[in-house]
Amino acid sequence: MPSPEPTQNRNTRQRRAIRDAFVSADRPLNPNEVLELATAGHEGIGIATVYRNIKALVEEGWLTTVELPGESARYELAGKAHHHHFHCKQCGKVYELTGCLSGFKAMAPPGFEVTGHEVLLYGTCNTCTNR
């Protein structure tokens, strides 16, 4: 009967492949994108494994959830400075934007207190524009 170690090692390899997918992509990913990137060179990773590991990595604080209106959640590395996102409406990929506009507090009605904000740009990414 096989020992439990191969399963643990396989799960460690799978988790490492999933982490590597996020690091190499350097942008928010949905579970299908994670699966595509993680399976390149790593057999034995299925979508259930991706979902299970994403959940664990969010719980560990290694990943954070990126919510887009009308879209399924995407995930990105946690601990980054405040930033916003660009959503390509042609290919569906989401990219991180650097920097942030100021003056949001002044836009609020008198007496309102702004505690945060989200900015999401939509358009066509460079790859789709050049097709």
- Tell me, what's the pLDDT at 104? 85
pLDDT computed for residue 1 by the predictor: 39
Taking each helix axis from N to C end, the angle separating 5-25 and 47-60, rounded to the nearest 10 degrees, works out to 80
Query: What total number of domains does the chain contain?
Result: 2
Q: Are residues 7 and 26 in the same domain?
A: yes
User: Could you give the C-alpha distances from 96 to 9, 26, 93, 122, in angstroms and in order?
Assistant: 33, 8, 10, 12
Q: What is the pLDDT of residue 41?
A: 72
Residues 49 and 8 in one domain: yes
pLDDT of residue 43: 80
| Residue 63 sits in the same domain as residue 124 | no
Same domain, 86 and 73: no
- Which residue stretches of the chain have pLDDT < 70? 1-11
For residue 48 the two structure tokens come to 């259930």
CA dist., res. 106 & res. 49, Å (int): 45
Phi, psi of 26 (to 5 degrees): 55, 40
CA distances, 67 to each of 23, 73, 74 (Å): 19, 5, 7
